[in-house]
């Protein structure tokens, strides 16, 4: 501001210059935030609109694009494999998410209790699965779920199996769900732990004086006060589970054919194979649009449910 007079009004020029100090600082501010918006426009907005555009064309990725209207949507929505992938996504999502959140909550409570030593160390350990390469992890799990792997040995101890974990309907889903659980439990536990630490200790003290036992403390103080955190993790996990890709893709693509078996096809894998395996970019884009609609619907449902739950509290 101090230099304003000097730079804004060069002597003897009556008209105000266009670049006033105010404008200048505005432009500077926009320039400072522009990298994000430019990148977002190029890598975010443009692909989104291009996907909508592409979903109405037939294109093999190399040749000319041909307008086909809504044909792509018809092809995808009448394809039984797409619906298989739809149900797979939700089944595996549910099987992965629900136990994972429960486990995470239990882990967080245990971590938060005063009886455990080395909390910081354990916290780091819980988080490790989340930053490990999913592909590497999946390959290790593939060994565990091999025909003569550990998983079959373990189930044989209780007189079950052997299962073909990479082929049969439920075993495939269980195997994938276990990988998902393994990867995300620690992450959610950390979030829960943060939530637990925000609960004031005097609440527990007061309840204990009133004679509440540990179960009652957990159910009537911990869980209700943790509700915002539970809602958050649920929302994030369900949206994440709709985008399940790497685990089933790597786990089931090892047969040399490079394609994922029907039992483990998720919507994203379906989309991916349409585009990059079969070069049907139009139907792939249509699948992306459908997935987009599903995700929005699901998020709205989630928000609605959490509003209602939040209202009660």
Residues that bind other proteins (CB under 8 A): 40, 43-44, 47-48, 51, 58, 60-63, 75, 79-81, 133-135, 139, 142-143, 146-149, 164, 166-168, 239, 243, 245-246, 249-250, 253-259, 261-262, 268, 272-273, 276-280, 282-283, 288, 291-292, 295
Sequence-distant (6+) residues with CB within 8 A of 273 are 259, 260
Nearest alpha carbon to residue 106 among 167, 196, 180: 196
Q: How far is the CB of 220 from other proteins (least distance, A)?
A: 36
Of residues 143 and 310, the one with the C-beta less far from other proteins? 143
As measured in angstroms, the least distance from the Cβ of 81 to other proteins is 7
Q: Omega into 162 within 30° of 0, i.e. cis?
A: yes
Counting Cα atoms < 13 Å in the Cβ hemisphere of 33 gives: 5
> To the nearest whole angstrom, how small is the minimum distance from the Cβ of residue 105 to other proteins?
25
| Closest distance of CB 266 from other proteins, Å | 11
Our CB check for other proteins shows the closer of 20 and 234 to be: 234
- Residue 229: closest CA among 104, 115, 92: 104
Closer to other proteins by CB, 75 or 230: give it: 75
Measured from the CB atom, is 17 or 61 closer to other proteins? 61
In this complex, which beta carbon is closest to other proteins, that of residue 69 or of residue 256? 256
- Measured in whole angstroms, how far is the alpha carbon of residue 282 from the centre of its chain? 25
Q: How far apart are CA 143 and CA 148, in angstroms?
A: 9
Q: What percent of the residues of the chain are helix, what percent strand, and what percent coil, each to the nearest 5?
A: 75, 0, 25
198 φ, ψ to 5°? Answer: -85, -10
- Please, what is the minimum distance in Å from the beta carbon of residue 209 to other proteins? 47
Q: Shortest approach of other proteins to residue 133 CB, angstroms? A: 7
Rank residues 105 and 267 by Cβ distance to other proteins and give the closer one.
267
């Amino acid at each position: 501001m101090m230099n304003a007079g000097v730079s804004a009004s060069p002597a003897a020029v009556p008209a105000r210059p266009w670049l006033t100090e105010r404008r200048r600082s505005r432009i500077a501010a926009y320039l400072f935030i522009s990298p994000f918006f430019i990148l977002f426009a190029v890598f975010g907005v443009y692909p989104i609109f291009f996907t909508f555009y592409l979903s109405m064309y037939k294109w093999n990725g190399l040749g000319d694009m041909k307008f086909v209207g809504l044909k792509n949507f018809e092809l995808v929505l009448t394809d039984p494999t797409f619906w298989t992938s739809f149900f797979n996504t939700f089944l595996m999502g549910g099987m992965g998410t629900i136990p994972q959140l429960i486990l995470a909550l239990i882990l967080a409570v245990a971590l938060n209790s005063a009886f455990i030593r080395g909390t910081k160390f354990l916290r780091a350990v819980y988080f490790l699965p989340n930053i490990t390469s999913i592909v590497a992890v999946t390959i290790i799990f593939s060994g565990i779920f091999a025909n003569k792997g550990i998983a079959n040995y373990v189930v044989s101890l209780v007189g079950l199996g052997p299962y073909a974990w990479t082929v049969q309907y439920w075993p495939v889903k269980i195997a994938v769900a276990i990988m998902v659980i393994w990867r995300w439990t620690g992450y959610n536990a950390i979030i829960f732990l943060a939530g637990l630490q925000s609960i004031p200790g005097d609440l527990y003290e007061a309840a204990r004086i009133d004679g509440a036992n540990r179960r009652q403390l957990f159910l009537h103080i911990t869980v209700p006060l943790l509700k915002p955190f539970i809602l958050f993790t649920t929302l994030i996990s369900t949206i994440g589970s709709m985008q399940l890709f790497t685990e089933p893709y790597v786990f089931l693509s090892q047969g040399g054919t490079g394609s994922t078996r029907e039992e483990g096809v998720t919507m994203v894998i379906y989309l991916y194979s349409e585009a990059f395996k079969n070069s049907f970019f139009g139907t792939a884009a249509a699948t992306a649009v459908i997935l987009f609609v599903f995700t929005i619907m699901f998020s709205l449902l989630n928000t609605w449910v959490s509003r209602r739950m939040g209202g009660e509290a």
